[in-house]
Chain A
């Protein structure tokens, strides 16, 4: 068996795919293909005839790969969801990190482990980056709404910026609501009344 592994990554997000490719390259000299096409996924993969297929656990397209686990002709190489022979800990780690690996039946676990380890790290990293980005965006949005609500209060009640902020905070606390929700209600109401 040649040392080079042929790996297919099913990923629609280009940026994420590149991250994973980089990381896999660092783990060894592999032949890597990225498939972002959703149509005819099973066909595209069998054309490539890879040793390993990596796919996001959260992708609905994953069900299309299950088809490959049923060898439809004797010439097909059966494919299986990767399971570590000794324990399922690596598979579990992979699923938790958000990556599932399908490998050609009979491949030694030792050969897939570095690949999977590299993929797991990248999937993890990408997920936390994405979560961070979403949180930052949300915080910015919230600040914009609160700023607008402050403006409404300053104009309508002649308050200073600090007083307006304090009033919003107090109202939110009294009503057991989030400040951004109170601000949003105020902005909406002001829009309706103006």
Chain B
């Protein structure tokens, strides 16, 4: 059988793992795809490469297709999220000076309690808290606004969230341009490793089931190539299932560590995959179960309610109509294509495409089209519940 060539773009991050594993371990081939991968220098360039049709799809920040649908940033070409690729995986870090100050004020750096960490951070920061994120349309930015906003810090007066490419984050911390950062793995670990910062919190402590990256393609491509899109979804689902096996973490880290992918020590990458993060240059370690995950609890299912949450947040921040924004956003998370693609497999498919976000405190069994599925806790740190049907 001849393979169909397909190119996907990615940013060299730990959560690009599903694409890299799909190519390296033959999950793409199994679906008849000759997968080529292309690293991109920035999120905006990656998005534009997809929008202009130079690559078929990409590993993308979950809010990017939503922002594009709302007319924020980039070309007006509609992008669709075919599936979620990862949940969680980001860390908030602070400069070593700020960490010392927080420690003196009594913060314990438990790396779990978002209320305590946020309160302490706000108290230590002075007039304006300046935090670097990789992109204006990112879960990093949305979760920071959500977390610190709920604790009373008002943006933009007291909270200045600014975009900085992760490779420049350490430099900016050292220069005093920013007080803190929120980045994806492995950049948090790199900041710890080179002594420029300490980790304060995993973003999973803010929202325990936050969609992080999605597989995005042009809407037109997904519509005109339904068979290829379905093969791509199945490929990603299998790669993500493989990544979820604890036994496979070492192999995954070794593959990701290669010079042509992340070009970093495998040990550092394994920390993110296992959730055993070193949080300070002194070597303190914290275990965060489900820090970054790929499969459990239908992790790759593109819930329309997740898109709704992102849209509601973006709308509030940019002054767009909340209802219209949510309606547009839900269209781009393609739970319909996901269902069609996986109907013939063993993948458990949720009965609904929307859920209350933040309602589950514990793993919960739900019925599916073909049996049952255990959904993972998805609560927000402040106990709020997001109802996608609420106007």
* B residues in contact with A86, CB < 8 Å: none
Distance in angstroms from B48 CB to nearest chain A CB is: 6
Partner of A81, one of B48, B171, B175, B177: B48
In the complex, whether B75 has a CB less than 8 A from a CB of chain A is yes
Q: Which of B82-113 contact A (CB under 8 A)?
A: none
Instruction: Check: A58 CB closer than 8 A to any chain B CB.
Output: yes
A49: chain B residues within 8 A (beta carbon): none
Which one of B43, B76, B137, B177 contacts A40 once the chains associate, using CB atoms below 8 Å? B177
State whether A39 touches B75 (Cβ < 8 A).
Answer: no
Known A70-B73, A70-B318, A95-B52: A63·B177 in contact at CB below 8 Å: no
Q: Assess whether B135 is in contact with A63, with CB atoms less than 8 Å apart.
A: yes
Per-residue interface assignment for chain B, residues 48 to 76, with 1 indicating a CB less than 8 Å from any chain A CB and 0 otherwise: 11001010000000000000000011111
Contact, CB under 8 Å: B73 / A39 = no
Query: Is there an interface contact between A66 and B73, defined as CB atoms closer than 8 Å?
Result: yes
Please pick, from B74, B136, B175, the residue contacting A39 in the complex, using a CB distance under 8 A: B175
CA distance A9 to B389 in the complex (A): 46
A42/B75 in contact, CB under 8 A: no
Q: Determine whether A179 belongs to the interface, using a CB cutoff of 8 Å to chain B.
A: no
Known contacts A62-B42, A63-B134, A100-B48: A88-B168 contact under CB 8 Å: no
A100 to B134, CA, bound (A): 19
The B interface, classified by DSSP as helix, strand, loop or mixed, is loop
Residues of chain A in range 48-91 having any CB-CB distance to chain B below 8 Å: 57-67, 69-70, 72, 81, 83, 88, 91
B222 vs chain A, min Cβ distance (A) = 19
Cβ 8 A contact of B49, one of A42, A67, A83, A95: A95
Which residues of B sit under 8 angstroms from A69, Cβ to Cβ?
Answer: 72-74, 136
Contact (Cβ within 8 A) B164 A64: yes
Task: Report how far A92 CA is from B54 CA in the complex, Å.
Answer: 9
The reply to whether B136 and A62 form a contact with Cβ atoms under 8 Å apart is: no
Instruction: Establish whether residues A58 and B172, one from each chain, have CB atoms under 8 Å apart when the complex forms.
Output: no
The yes or no answer to A38 lying at the interface (CB within 8 A) is yes
CB distance from B70 to the nearest CB of A (A): 11
Having A61-B168, A62-B44, one finds 18 other A-B pairs with CB under 8 Å, namely: A39-B168, A39-B171, A40-B177, A58-B41, A58-B45, A60-B41, A60-B167, A61-B165, A62-B41, A63-B134, A63-B165, A66-B135, A66-B136, A69-B72, A70-B136, A88-B52, A88-B75, A100-B48
